[in-house]
């Protein structure tokens, strides 16, 4: 058996290190944990620093350069909180109007989604009917068709109906149900025990009452997830408002911001950043408060929009 050549320093150092870790597994675990923490902190900074910079820039006075060398990550000198108020009622900055419009669109979509998707999901989850298999396939396929491909005929239809330049085209389609939400609620409803329906039938309840009194109240977790998604998608949507709206009075926050970004020069950069920061507050609040439900909802179906 050949002896290990201890004169090679490279080999022996590696050898010693490995022997140490084998002898002290807890130490090895500790190093692993420290590496993981270091990575997580670095990634968190990668997420948070841009947001911090946005606040820093938003708090600066007009004409003060928002860009500094080196970059100022956290507000130190300037604290012009009134910039946030100016976004709402400054000249040419009708963000109050935009916010109201966004809220109308979001509320309408949540209402439409919860009503229609729960009805349709109930039929797919609890009722037996001819054609349920093929119709379910249609549902799945329609989930995969990009709606943007249909924007021209939809635009034409709404234009002919006289809805161009109103919020209706952004709200009404949700009352026809959204395939993804129907699917999500249906998956949830299938987990509710069938004995409940049968007991209700024995008690003489009709289908509508089974839906309204039993299945719907039990489905609130799934409905909440759908409502949150409906909120996020519609609050964030740009293309829909871009196609159907044509004046400042109807614009939503997303399109208002996109316009401001294209015309705001350096002079108004602070206001652009203030508006941008305000626009992300609602989604972040919703996310923080409903985080557990939202992630649980995604986990329960293994799907995301």
Partner 1 sequence: MDMASIALPRRRSAVARGRAEQREERAAYLFLSPWLIGLLVFWFGPIVASFVLSFTDWNLLNPPHWIGGENYHTLRHDYNFSQSVHVTLRYTVMAVPLYIVAGFGLSLLLNLRMRGMNLFRTILFVPSVLSGVAVAILWMSLLNPDVGAVNGFLEALGWANPPRWLGSPTWAVPSLVLIGLWGVGGSAIIYLAGLQNIPAQLYEAIALDGAGSWQRFRYVTLPMLTPTLLFVLLTSLIGAIQIFDTAFVLGGQQGGTGGSLRFYLINLWQEGFTQGQLGYASALAWIFVVAAAVIILAIFRTSGRWVYYEDGVDQI
Pairwise CA distance, residues 76 & 224, whole Å: 40
Give the burial class of 90: count Cβ atoms within 10 A of its Cβ; 0-12 exposed, 13-18 middle, 19 or more buried. Answer: middle
Closer CB to partner 1, residue 107 or residue 143? 143
- Write the DSSP string, 189-225: HTTS-HHHHHHHHHTT--HHHIIIIIIHHHTHHHHHH
Cβ 95 to partner 1, closest distance in Å? 13
Closer CB to partner 1, residue 220 or residue 300? 300
111: left (phi over 0), alpha (psi -120 to 50) or beta: alpha
- Residue whose tokens read 């022996």: 12
Cβ 146 to partner 1, closest distance in Å? 5
DSSP element (H, E) containing 248: none
Cβ 11 to partner 1, closest distance in Å? 23
Closer CB to partner 1, residue 13 or residue 147? 147
Cβ 13 to partner 1, closest distance in Å? 23
Cβ 96 to partner 1, closest distance in Å? 18
Pairwise CA distance, residues 111 & 104, whole Å: 11
The set of residues, in sequence order, having a beta carbon less than 8 Å from that of 273 and lying 6+ positions away, is 54, 55, 57, 58, 66
Give the burial class of 172: count Cβ atoms within 10 A of its Cβ; 0-12 exposed, 13-18 middle, 19 or more buried. Answer: middle
Closer CB to partner 1, residue 6 or residue 292? 292
Cβ 91 to partner 1, closest distance in Å? 20
Closer CB to partner 1, residue 81 or residue 208? 208
Closer CB to partner 1, residue 4 or residue 100? 100
């Amino acid at each position: 058996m050949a002896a290990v050549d201890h004169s090679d320093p490279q080999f022996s150092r590696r050898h010693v290190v490995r022997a140490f870790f084998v002898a002290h597994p807890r130490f090895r675990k500790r190093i692993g944990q420290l590496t993981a923490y270091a990575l997580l902190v670095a990634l968190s900074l990668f997420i948070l620093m841009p947001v911090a910079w946005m606040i820093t820039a938003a708090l600066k006075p007009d004409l003060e350069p928002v860009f500094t060398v080196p970059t100022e990550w956290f507000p130190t000198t300037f604290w012009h909180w009134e910039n946030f108020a100016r976004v709402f009622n400054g000249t040419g900055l009708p963000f109050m109007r935009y916010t109201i419009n966004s809220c109308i669109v979001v509320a309408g979509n949540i209402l439409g989604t919860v009503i229609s998707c729960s009805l349709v999901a109930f039929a797919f989850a609890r009722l037996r009917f001819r054609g349920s298999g093929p119709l379910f396939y249609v549902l799945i396929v329609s989930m995969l068709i990009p709606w943007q491909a249909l924007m021209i005929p939809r635009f034409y239809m709404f234009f002919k109906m006289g809805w161009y330049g109103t919020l209706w085209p952004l709200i009404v389609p949700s009352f026809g149900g959204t395939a993804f939400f129907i699917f999500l609620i249906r998956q949830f409803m299938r987990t509710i025990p069938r004995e409940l329906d049968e007991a209700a039938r024995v008690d003489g309840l009709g289908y509508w009452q089974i839906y309204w009194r039993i299945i719907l109240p039990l489905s609130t977790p799934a409905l909440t997830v759908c409502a949150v998604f409906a909120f996020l998608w519609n609050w964030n949507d740009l293309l829909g408002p871009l196609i159907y709206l044509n004046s400042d009075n109807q614009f939503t926050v997303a399109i208002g911001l996109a316009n401001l970004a294209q015309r705001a020069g350096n002079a108004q950069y602070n206001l652009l950043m203030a508006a941008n920061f305000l626009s992300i507050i609602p989604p972040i609040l919703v996310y923080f408060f409903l985080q557990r439900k939202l992630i649980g909802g995604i986990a329960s179906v293994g799907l995301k929009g």
